[in-house]
Amino acid sequence: MVAATFKDAVSKRADWACIVLILTLSGLFFLPAITHPDSLIYPSFAPYSDVTVIHWPKEFLMAETFKRYGQLPLWTPLILSGMPLASNQLAMLFYPPNLLCLFLPINAVLNGLFVAHIFWAGAGLYLFMRRGLAASVAASFIAALTFMFSGKLLAHVAAGHASLVGALAWLPWALLCIHLALAERKRLWALCAGVILALQATLHTQILVYTAYTLLAYALFQILTVPAQGDGLWWRKLLRGSLLLVPLPVTFLLVGAIQILPLVEMMGHSNRALSLGEASAFSLSWLTLFVGLFLPTGRGGHEMVIYLGLAPLSLAPLAWRRKGDPRVLFFVGLAVFSLLFALGSHTPLFGLCYYLLPGLRWLRTPARAWFLLALATAVLAGYGFDALTTEVWSRQARKRLTVGGVYVAFSCLLLGAGLSTIYGQASRATVGLALLPVASLGLVFLTVQGKLSRQGLALTTTLLLLADLWSFGRPLLSFRSPEQAFAPQREVAEYLAAQEGLFRVYSPSYSLPQHLAARSGLQLVDGAEPVHLWRYDRFMALAGGYPFPGFSVTVPPFPPDQDLAQAHRGTRPNLALLGLLNTRFLAAEFPMDYEGLTLLKVVGRTHVYENERALPRAFVVGQVKVIPDEEILSELALFDPRELAILAEKPGWSLDAPSLFQEAEVTFYSPNTIVVQVNLSTPGLLVLSELWYPGWRAYDNGQEVKIHRADYLLRSVYLEAGRHTVEFVYDPLSVKVGRWVSAGAALGLSVCGALAIRRQRNRGIC
């Protein structure tokens, strides 16, 4: 017993040492971000980063709103003429670690999230291998490094996908909890898995869906294939296992309600209803598959990076030698499924999943299923290490392995050297192809021949693994100073920010980067966001003068492989419709000599115009016209918004004063609250140039009034004659109910956890 206790203590000490080493390696990889915490991560293969395009503006809005008003912004006015923020997972509004941005510098928080989540991904997989799959310390460590530094994951770090990387880091922890729930028959672990899924819900839907299906598959495999005491018929095992996991979906729904309910509310209004063709965008091709595995490059963009590492690929096939563990088959199956799914439209599998599996119709970019293959490869590489060092290799097996290894190594050496010779230069891809298989398969050969000890193999494999993955992944990242990141178009932003009044800016050429506009206090009609409102997309197709593109991440849409600055040079925007959105200025990288535009200034290549047809942010009209919703779009370009407003439903009042046009004064403006004052001599309709969306409530002199959707997408309220103070408040029921449900669930779990710890301590005393 003493020996067993000593062995357990040594094992725990080794585990802690590996966790600390994983943390150290994470810090070393991101050393520039740690030594210069104000720097921003950019890809070396593209001019833009989602850190600044997507995340920084939201973090800035959160910090500024909290600082000024003591609350979190549930709505963002920064881009796309405003949109709900509470339903936007990329804001990470309800993800606890991200709330550090309210108190600490934004750049440092974003860098910290990347470092912490890469560490968390490695630590989670290490513990899953150790506690779940009973792997050795060395095998678990190798698996952790393979996953956390995989080319696919690092490419998305370079692209600035903070929320995606964060969600992915929780995947191995969820697998660990599911495994322990079934192996130890404790529902507490199912509760933990539910909390993890709830955290993923606050980060990224796609990774949440992939995690959920992976957990379901693993649980079914574990229940049906791993023998356990007392199990009998398969349906009894399935029933018993399912009862153990019941707390998972319940906990997920309750704890994640604060994010899930706004997401569900958004579904009916978002542009994310994808056709099969749209959903299969960014699929891997067979050519990309083979080139990306063996001759990796980041030039094709982060979605096409699939490098798993040649060193891990040398170990993964050896996993078949691990006897007595059927889970090898599961991870082989996961790898095969992920590979075929990532090929998207190039195989029938993606189409079947699109039609049969709930949730996949809302997702796109099948290439991201490669994350699951990266996880499976890491596990199989760990299995392969243990099989190499613990299994007995017969003479015949050693001979086959040696012959096969020599053949593969020689082929890779010949191919890598040949490509270097043909192109006249040795790149990372060709040198890696020539040398890495030789080195890794050489280690395998020395081990099976008994010439390399287990400790020696662990050390050399770790070093080779780091050299392999870091030499590819680290050059994908660059670290820009704030001066560099905020330099492009700074003069344009400063000029527009100096203009008086409340207004919006439209750029058909991305002349105002979103992070620069946010810092300058500018509100944009255009913008880039993976999910936004379909009604706005249709309106902007008319206002921007371009064909309606269907689903698009950006407004206006930019065709692939075209220069952003010149893609819309030939389009002619509708200045009246843009003016309806309070678009006072337009900025473009090309001249726009249209009637109604006045050229104010040319800054570099950027032409800044003033829209003479811009309407104020709030105004009153004296006439309304009721048109069915499906016919409004065809009427929008024909009416004068100064004379009348178009409603989709017949109101309980009437107006007939076409000459009544009066500007209303916006006396208070914040993301969640807008106050408008106006004095009317006759009844009128107050139109606020802000997007209509459920959850906005209006109060006229303290009394709640109905908000009508006017002119297809704007908010409006009916006012009698007299002086009015109208307050618009974004107070969605989905957030209020979600907040209380999540808070109650978190409190209940905390109490249960405290009681469980107390019970465990009492047992220890006894």
For residue range 692-712, list pLDDT tens digits in order: 999 999 999 999 999 999 999
Examine the pLDDT at 484 and tell me if it is beyond 90: yes
**b/e for 140-150, b at 16 or more Cβ within 10 A?**
bbbbbbbbbbb
Query: Residue 308: its pLDDT value, please?
Result: 96
Query: Residue 766: its pLDDT value, please?
Result: 46
pLDDT band at residue 58 under the 50/70/90 scheme: very high
Examine the pLDDT at 562 and tell me if it is beyond 90: no
Please state whether the peptide bond connecting residue 556 to the residue before it is cis, i.e. omega within 30 degrees of 0. yes
- Higher-pLDDT residue of 338 and 638 is 338
pLDDT band at residue 435 under the 50/70/90 scheme: very high
- Higher-pLDDT residue of 486 and 762 is 486
What number of CA atoms fall less than 13 Å from residue 463's CA on the CB side?
7
What number of CA atoms fall less than 13 Å from residue 242's CA on the CB side?
6
Token digits of residue 500: 């008086």
**Residues 177-209: pLDDT tens digits?**
999 999 988 888 999 999 999 999 999 999 999
Once rounded to an integer, what is the mean pLDDT over residues 334-363? 93
Return the minimum-mean-pLDDT range out of 35-39, 215-219, 341-345, 390-394: 390-394
Return the minimum-mean-pLDDT range out of 251-265, 368-382, 653-667: 653-667
Phi, psi dihedrals of residue 568, rounded to the nearest 5°:
-110, 25
**644 within 8 A of 636, measured Cβ to Cβ:** no
Calpha distance 7→355 (Å, rounded):
52
pLDDT band at residue 2 under the 50/70/90 scheme: very low
Token digits of residue 94: 């309800």
Contacts of residue 231, defined as CB under 8 A and 6 or more positions apart, other chains included, come to: 237, 240
- Rounded to 5°, the CA angle 129-133-137 comes to 45
**730 within 8 A of 671, measured Cβ to Cβ:** yes
**Residues 500-518: pLDDT tens digits?**
999 999 999 999 999 999 9
pTM score, whole prediction: 0.94
Calpha distance 622→653 (Å, rounded):
12
Strand arrangement, sheet containing 722-730: 665-669, 673-680, 722-730, 696-700, 703-705
Instruction: Report domain extents, the chain.
Output: 2-169+284-391+453-477, 186-270+732-766, 486-611, 618-731
DSSP state of 273: -
**Residues 74-128: pLDDT tens digits?**
999 999 999 999 999 999 999 999 999 999 999 999 999 999 999 999 999 999 9
pLDDT band at residue 226 under the 50/70/90 scheme: confident
Helices (H) and strands (E) in the chain, counts: 30, 22
**Residues 373-383: pLDDT tens digits?**
999 999 999 99
Examine the pLDDT at 578 and tell me if it is beyond 80: yes
Kindly state the percentage of the chain with pLDDT values over 90: 74
Other beta carbons within 10 angstroms of residue 151's beta carbon come to 25
Examine the pLDDT at 317 and tell me if it is beyond 90: yes
Which alpha helices (H) appear in 42-136, and where do they start and end?
Answer: 50, 56-69, 106-127
Calpha distance 538→546 (Å, rounded):
10
pLDDT band at residue 233 under the 50/70/90 scheme: confident
Distance from chain centroid for Cα 636: 35
pLDDT band at residue 629 under the 50/70/90 scheme: confident
Q: What is the number of residues in the chain?
A: 766
Calpha distance 364→531 (Å, rounded):
12
Examine the pLDDT at 217 and tell me if it is beyond 60: yes
pLDDT band at residue 680 under the 50/70/90 scheme: very high
**24 within 8 A of 92, measured Cβ to Cβ:** no
**493 within 8 A of 517, measured Cβ to Cβ:** yes
Examine the pLDDT at 333 and tell me if it is beyond 90: yes
Query: Residue 4: its pLDDT value, please?
Result: 53
Strand partners, 478: 42
Examine the pLDDT at 242 and tell me if it is beyond 90: no
Query: Residue 215: its pLDDT value, please?
Result: 97
Query: Residue 9: its pLDDT value, please?
Result: 64
Examine the pLDDT at 764 and tell me if it is beyond 60: no
Query: Residue 7: its pLDDT value, please?
Result: 59
Query: Residue 117: its pLDDT value, please?
Result: 98
- Higher-pLDDT residue of 181 and 425 is 181
Average pLDDT, the chain: 92
Strand partners, 728: 674, 698
**Residues 715-754: pLDDT tens digits?**
999 999 999 999 999 999 999 999 999 999 999 988 887 7
